[in-house]
A and B are shown apart, each in its own frame.
Chain A
């Protein structure tokens, strides 16, 4: 089947098997391997991408369902060589170790902070319900998201002035 999707600003027209999951389409057909597969039960969130601006687990979406959609993956988050504030904060706060869950964590956080720009730690922890990490014990991830939220709020504030 033919699908047309825009991924990280670039439009692709591709032939896919109807059963192809979006995550394999991204990884194997488009070569965007930053999105990871960590489970087979939609539990781990390593495959999280933005589909029309909303965080989705790309292992739970068929590529054909994404026809006509705008997708952002971890590769598309940095703009003009500048890291997204969440990427920067994950780096600054040591929010990752092996890095396997990180792309999904960051994409989930992008969506979350869009909806809740000034979250409490408890809200951040609940927002990560669908994203699993085995290395960090989550504490530095929470710190990173909190820190990014502050920086992003300041940036918005500065923009208004």
Chain B
């Protein structure tokens, strides 16, 4: 009997009809009776003492309901907490008042909030709030900050938030071995601005009669937000309902619990009427978390044959002015543990210093720590190749973990689950026609054209993660995931997931998992998420965990529903469950295919409960809480071909090839989309994006007309392919794919540009590779003339 395979099919998304017709509901689309609007007054200074705030003129303005400052929130709204308390790192967690008290610490730090009947009135009044600042010198540069001359937090000496170290093997001994040589390189991984297309928004409603609070927020993790809101507002957790309606992208920037959420929730309670706040893009750039921002001193130890024996990495990680929710974990565990990349590097030594500066707080941005690690390792491979005059592909081959070596424990302690790294690399070389490219490149150089190719044989850790392991890293939560699969009396199915997708398409992929397991049609499965009143529990969507962790919970719950249905059918047909086969949604007796019942019929019987096995509870639903035993490790090879114009420094991408392996694929169309989006963000970091502050702490790239957000015309069509190596970590064999593109692309592009510039003897340039920087480097290489 032919069974339609839904798992693995390129089906269109279930989410889309509402999105393409303008009928989706994002947070800012919501309106409630008696709604009022909040606008935050923000600091124009990066560092200043607040002498006095005069709200009297603002309070008297038309339509204004109230104007509050830190003093009004004293004892009402608590400090915004950090949820990743990394151990053994001397972590400092200075208070983060929701409205700045005494001192402002970055441009955009909120000092007051105005609530008015209309958005316009609130903005008008916000301009009337008078704040008298005593401007202090701002500390912007990390090395400067560590001198401790200017302190962001008075009680954090040297602005040092933590010192985190990791040692695998013995790097110091390894470099002394005969035949081992070293090279050094300083490299920056510049600050990026996540820029989800939907700015943040919060709407809160408090019912004094029931003493409960409903908060709609643009969050990636409604249950975590509920937990943290209960801590900051003092409203008991079970009295809070958090809803993540349609969320317009997050990329990590909607993970944290933000001051505005706590303040708006409190306002709803305080004023007894619903309050909405919607961020402007300018505010989004100033007050929503940024990503990356590392300066790294790398030393690579290697042999003449290209074998890399060790890495020593010293990184300064800019945390901004306050510790955001996951901030301490991102540049430490999510970074240092991945420094072995896809390679057998026996000796790794890593030291990360977290630094406070007068800048916007830094937290997760797509990839979060892993792109930074991948960049270091993949640049290291090219630097070694350059030093030895070897082909960068050969250096990689020399060091790649071989497929028969899995599971493989790298020096940092992670156990890589499965992989065939060589195969993905091979496939890329085939698509690229590598030998031909090198010939073309040589010919082009004779004509004064500079072509380059760059590779990234990446691996990443995702599917966060085993709760016990993440707990040992100081993460103040578990990272298992929940699912409930409920088959209704009509045979239709509702799936509740604790993940909170916001563009990734799991309403479709999870429906595919369930339709496959239950043998029902895709149209009969509905996936719900993002409401703490409806969903049992969940840790949310980030860290490419939604499918490998949340999807596995869905899969297991569906299997349990089938098991229960099978017992009902066996009972009613008076056979042993072991005698039943299940195919295409129908149970039938082995050897007597006519005797059977569909799962829908079993569902009706489960609800009627007229004739159930002795002791069986009525109804047909099952919950599964899946806590994985390990992370999953997607991998692949990306290659980028560029041409650099030596007269302008302009880099043009001629080809981009991505061969990814995310284990078993549920929906190839969605996987392609994830790869494309990730690759664009990764390329954009290499070539264009970068947050720029002036020495006084003003964000010069403070709007979408100043920040180099990538456009459609800047890219060629990407060439993608896949290999499929299932993971043994979960029964579906699926790994994550949400971040692979971003992780892989950045070093591939930089390696390509450095390859193109190799005739000039240019070994390394820091990102973003803006034309002026490239042009200056060429000019210097040519002897300062030209």
Residue positions of A touching B, CB distance < 8 A: 17, 19, 24, 27-28, 31-44, 46, 73-75, 77-78, 83, 87, 90-92, 94, 96-103, 106, 121-122, 124-126, 128-129, 131-142
Contact = CB atoms under 8 A, between A and B. Distances in A.
A19 B118 CA distance: 13
Given A136-B673, A142-B717, A97 B249 contact: yes
Nearest to A24: B119
23 contacts: A37-B278, A39-B281, A41-B281, A75-B22, A75-B23, A90-B16, A92-B12, A94-B12, A96-B19, A97-B504, A98-B196, A98-B249, A125-B711, A125-B715, A129-B713, A132-B711, A134-B195, A134-B709, A135-B503, A137-B675, A137-B681, A142-B712, A142-B717
A35 B120 CA distance: 19
The 4 A-B pairs at the shortest CB distance, nearest first, are namely A34-B22, A100-B248, A98-B503, A99-B19
Contacts of B717: 121, 139, 142
Given A41-B704, A43-B704, A128-B711, A34 B23 contact: yes
A140 B19 CA distance: 16
Contacts of B709: 43, 132, 134
Contacts of B198: 36, 38, 98, 100
Contact of B26 (A41, A75, A100, A140): A100
Contacts of A125: 711-713, 715
Nearest to B502: A98
B678 interface: yes
B425 to A, nearest CB: 22
B249 A40 contact: no
B282 A134 contact: no
A140 B28 contact: no
Size band of the B side of the interface? 35 or more
A134 B21 contact: no
A109 to B, nearest CB: 11
Contacts of A128: 711-713
Nearest to A27: B29
Contacts of A99: 15-16, 19-20, 24, 246, 248, 503
A137 B29 contact: no
Contacts of A73: 22
Contact of A134 (B12, B29, B677, B718): B677
A38 B199 contact: yes
A135 B15 CA distance: 15
B280 interface: yes
Contact of B197 (A90, A94, A101): A101
B624 interface: no
A137 B678 contact: yes
Nearest to B711: A129
Interface in B221-275: 246-249, 251
A78 B21 CA distance: 7
Contacts of A91: 12-13, 16-17, 20
B169 interface: no
B666 interface: no
B21 A34 contact: yes
Nearest to A38: B197
Contacts of A122: 713
Nearest to A96: B19
B368 to A, nearest CB: 16
Given A75-B21, A101-B197, A135 B705 contact: no
B686 to A, nearest CB: 14
Given A39-B703, A39-B704, A139-B717, A97 B281 contact: no
Contacts of A40: 280-282, 703
A38 to B, nearest CB: 5
Interface in B8-42: 12-13, 15-17, 19-26, 28-29, 31
A8 B121 CA distance: 30
Given A37-B28, A91-B13, A97-B503, A43 B705 contact: yes
A31 B28 CA distance: 12
A128 B680 CA distance: 15
A102 to B, nearest CB: 6
Contacts of A39: 281, 703-704
A77 B673 contact: no
Contacts of B24: 34, 99
A131 to B, nearest CB: 8
Contacts of B21: 34, 74-75, 77-78, 83, 87
B333 to A, nearest CB: 26
B193 to A, nearest CB: 11
Contacts of A38: 197-199, 281, 704
B236 to A, nearest CB: 32
| Most chain A CB inside 10 Å of its own CB: which residue of B248, B278, B672 | B248
Nearest to B709: A132
A132 B19 CA distance: 16
Contacts of B705: 41-43
A10 to B, nearest CB: 15
Interface string B659-692: 0000000000110110111111100000000000
B23 A96 contact: no
A77 B20 CA distance: 10
Given A38-B198, A137-B680, A94 B672 contact: yes
B157 interface: no
Nearest to B25: A33
B478 interface: no
Contacts of B20: 74, 83, 87, 90-91, 96, 99, 102, 106
A142 B714 CA distance: 13
B281 A139 contact: no
A121 B15 CA distance: 26
B505 interface: yes
> Which residue, of A33, A78, A122, A134, has the highest number of chain B Cβ atoms within 10 A?
A134
B251 to A, nearest CB: 7
Contacts of B247: 98
B249 A100 contact: yes
Interface centre among A77, A96, A100, A142 (most CB of B within 10 A): A100
Nearest to A122: B713
Contacts of A31: 31
A161 to B, nearest CB: 29
B745 to A, nearest CB: 10
Given A91-B13, A99-B503, A74 B22 contact: yes
A45 B120 CA distance: 22
B676 A132 contact: no
A85 to B, nearest CB: 11
A44 B22 contact: no
Contact of B712 (A37, A77, A129): A129
Contacts of A74: 20-22
Contacts of A44: 197, 281, 704
A33 B13 contact: no
A125 B704 CA distance: 19
Contacts of B677: 97, 134-137
Contacts of A141: 712
A19 B670 CA distance: 42
